[in-house]
Amino acid sequence: MANEQIGMDEEPEIIYIPDDEGNEEEFEVIMKFEVDGSDSKYMMVVPLDSEDEEADEVYAFRYEEDGEDLQLFMIEDDEEWAIVEETFNTLVDELDGGAGND
23: in domain: yes
91: in domain: yes
User: 76 or 2: which carries more pLDDT confidence?
Assistant: 76
Range of the domain at 25: 12-95
- 45, 85, 79: which is closest to 63 by C-alpha? 45
56: in domain: yes
83: in domain: yes
- 52, 50, 32, 35: which is closest to 1 by C-alpha? 35
6: in domain: no
74: in domain: yes
1: in domain: no
As for how many domains the chain has, the answer is: 1
88 CA to centre of own chain: 8
- What confidence score (pLDDT) does residue 7 get? 47
Average pLDDT over every residue of 93-98: 78
**pLDDT per residue as tens digits for the range 6-22:** 444 578 899 999 888 99
